[in-house]
């Protein structure tokens, strides 16, 4: 039975491979200062439309730097990044970013926080009102529209931050260790919710994390990076049935993927398991 399910989903990555390229990074390097730290060294990567791709690595491997370069918040010192064929020179339109900290504005209610970008653009809020309420409903924040961030728990705050990133319906969602500050249980719950919203809309998600389990659970592909200078050490296609439930984590295939990554970390000398 397991094999038939696996076979059924194995066809999926092939279909994804046919999708047009969304993000194309070619030989991207980033050096801080003339003789400073080389954070990224010749990183090439292509992400397809609707793909869920995780960048996994230890702290200081440049995974956040790569994401920031895609977001147009930093300029690579070498190579080029294209989003839908356009070279990234400033933050691309149609992009939502979720940071590790929720960065909600304390003086705005949850609903007003969601409208930050709309306010920046000077667009009428009414255009997005319906979608805002849908998102809040979807993320279990119904009834908290008028609440202020200080009144919410860490998990709820991060949910609000994700709602904010999704309001303008971006086709690209960049997430920089979004659940790193949450407790384990809330983190699992958020993984399930994120998978749900991704499955429903199939927007491209670039997800940076240092959690092996989280990356394997969520992704179509996991890109593992080595520390200083940041290079791609391994790319792993995750062939696990979707929608994935928490139980997937108990499957031998899941353990195998995680084991492969852990072994690689071991080879890099990052994990000393005597």
**Spatial distance between the Cα atoms of 12 and 151, rounded to a whole number of angstroms:** 42
DSSP state at residue 151: G
Q: Which of 33, 85, 120, 184 binds another protein (CB under 8 A)?
A: 120
Which one, of 157, 165, 108, lies nearest residue 135 by Cα? 165
Q: How far is the CB of 255 from another protein (least distance, A)?
A: 35
Cβ-based nearer residue to another protein, 110 or 233: 110
Q: What residues are paired with 46 via a beta bridge?
A: 24
Question: How many whole angstroms from its chain centre is CA 201?
Answer: 15
Cβ-based nearer residue to another protein, 116 or 270: 116
Q: Which of 13, 72, 78, 180 binds another protein (CB under 8 A)?
A: 72
Q: Residue 44's CB: how many other CB atoms inside 10 A?
A: 11
Q: How far is the CB of 49 from another protein (least distance, A)?
A: 20
Q: Which of 38, 40, 97, 194 binds another protein (CB under 8 A)?
A: 97
Which residues, numbered 49-68, are part of the site for another protein (CB under 8 A)?
Answer: 68
Q: How far is the CB of 93 from another protein (least distance, A)?
A: 7
**Contact assessment for residue 88 and residue 25, using Cβ atoms and an 8 Å cutoff:** no
The reply on whether position 183 binds another protein by CB under 8 A is no
Q: Which of 14, 35, 89, 90 binds another protein (CB under 8 A)?
A: 90
The reply on whether position 91 binds another protein by CB under 8 A is yes
- DSSP output for 185-220: HHHHHHHHHHHHHHHHH--EEEEEES-HHHHHHH-S
| Residue span binding another protein (CB under 8 A) among the ranges 16-24, 55-63, 69-77, 224-232 | 69-77
The reply on whether position 73 binds another protein by CB under 8 A is yes
Structure token pair of residue 34:
């003339």
* Lateral strand order in the sheet of 221-226: 95-98, 172-176, 204-209, 52-56, 221-226, 231-237
Cβ-based nearer residue to another protein, 176 or 220: 176
- DSSP output for 70-94: HTTSS--SEEEEEETTEE-SSPPSS
| Residue span binding another protein (CB under 8 A) among the ranges 7-15, 52-60, 105-113, 123-131 | 105-113
Sign of the four-CA dihedral 56, 61, 66, 67: positive
The reply on whether position 110 binds another protein by CB under 8 A is no
Q: Which of 31, 148, 242, 270 binds another protein (CB under 8 A)?
A: 148
Q: Which residues bind another protein (CB under 8 A)?
A: 68, 71-73, 90-91, 93, 95, 97, 99-101, 103, 105-107, 116-117, 119-121, 148, 150-151, 174
């Amino acid at each position: 039975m397991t094999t038939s399910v696996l076979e059924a989903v194995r066809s999926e990555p092939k279909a994804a491979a046919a999708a047009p390229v969304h993000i194309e990074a070619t030989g991207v390097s980033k050096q801080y200062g003339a003789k400073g730290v080389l954070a990224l060294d010749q990183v090439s990567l292509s992400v397809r439309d609707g793909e869920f791709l995780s960048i996994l690595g230890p702290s200081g491997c440049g995974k956040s730097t790569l994401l920031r370069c895609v977001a147009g918040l930093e300029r690579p010192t070498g190579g080029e990044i294209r989003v839908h064929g356009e070279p990234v020179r400033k933050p691309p339109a149609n992009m939502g970013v979720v940071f590790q900290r929720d960065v909600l504005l304390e003086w705005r209610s949850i609903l007003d926080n969601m409208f930050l970008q709309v306010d920046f653009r000077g667009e009428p809020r009414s255009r997005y009102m319906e979608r805002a309420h849908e998102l809040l409903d979807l993320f279990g924040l119904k009834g908290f529209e008028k609440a202020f961030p200080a009144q919410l728990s860490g998990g709820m705050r991060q949910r609000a931050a994700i709602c904010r990133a999704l309001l303008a319906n971006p086709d690209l969602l960049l997430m920089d260790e979004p659940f790193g500050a949450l407790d384990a249980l809330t983190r699992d719950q958020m993984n399930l919710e994120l998978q749900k919203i991704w499955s429903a809309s199939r927007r491209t998600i670039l997800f940076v994390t240092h959690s092996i389990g989280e990356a394997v659970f969520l992704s179509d592909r996991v890109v593992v990076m080595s520390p200083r200078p940041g290079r791609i050490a391994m790319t792993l296609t995750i062939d696990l049935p979707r929608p994935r439930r928490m139980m997937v984590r108990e499957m031998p295939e899941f353990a195998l993927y995680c084991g492969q990554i852990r072994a690689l970390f071991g080879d890099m000398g990052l994990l000393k398991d005597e």
